[in-house]
Amino acid sequence: MTPRTLQDWIDLLLDASRTQWLLRAGTVLAPIVSVLAAAAASPGWWPPGTALVAVLAIAAALRPDTHFALSVAIVCAWHWAAIDADVASGWLPLAAVALLVFHATVALAASLPSGTAVPNELVMRWAARTGVAAGITVGVWLAVALLDRRELPGNGLLTGLALAVIGITALAVRARSLRALDPGETVIRR
């Protein structure tokens, strides 16, 4: 790290508003909550993993516009899969929602300069959205837990149908994300 980079980081921390500090604190705490939920759902916990997640989460909080956040989410999901916990455990939706909160806080932090105070109106808007997504997540978890308890055999047709739906959705998302401007839309270049 060059001295100039260090100075940039110091300036970043000093310029951050109080609401930005809270936002970034949420960015660090949310994935740690996810890892601790996994620890609660399993016999033992994973200190090196928790430390790794914490370090990556701090990096994501400092540089929200990078892909540190992606690595945090991957580590957390992999950790849960590795501990082989019961899918019906109530800790699972908590861990998933914690990752959702992490994603939302990082995305919001990335869209604002560090010195900008986050207005309450914006926080409420994002909280409402996150609440809707969290509700859907809990609903999916309830369905998964219910089906898991019934121990249904695998169904190739249903799996194929599900994959087809996922594929179509992926194509639609890709098309919407990368689409060119409509003919009536203009870009101002003066």
Burial of 56 (0-12, 13-18, 19+ CB in 10 A): buried
56 binds other proteins (CB under 8 A): no
Which of the stretches 2-10, 23-31, 48-56, 146-154 binds other proteins when contact is defined by CB under 8 A? 146-154
Size of the site for other proteins (CB under 8 A): 72
35 binds other proteins (CB under 8 A): no
C-alpha count within 13 angstroms, C-beta hemisphere, residue 176: 6
Report yes or no: 92 and 85 within 8 Å, Cβ to Cβ: yes
Helix spans in the chain (H) = 3-15, 18-41, 47-62, 68-83, 91-110, 120-150, 156-178
Distance in Å, CB of 13 to other proteins, minimum: 13
186 binds other proteins (CB under 8 A): yes
Distance in Å, CB of 1 to other proteins, minimum: 22
**R_g of the chain computed on alpha carbons:** 20
Scan residues 77-106 and list those touching other proteins (CB under 8 A): 77, 80-81, 85, 87, 92-93, 95-97, 99-100, 103-104, 106
Which of the stretches 2-10, 25-33, 46-54, 172-180 binds other proteins when contact is defined by CB under 8 A? 172-180
Close Cβ partners of 102 (under 8 Å, ≥ 6 residues apart)? 26, 27, 30, 31, 34, 57, 60, 69, 72, 73
Binding-site string for other proteins from residue 104 to residue 123, where x marks contact by CB under 8 A and - marks none: x-xxx-xxxx-xxxxx-xx-
Distance in Å, CB of 131 to other proteins, minimum: 11
Distance in Å, CB of 112 to other proteins, minimum: 7
- Residue from 44, 48, 176, 183 touching other proteins (CB under 8 A): that is 176
181 binds other proteins (CB under 8 A): yes
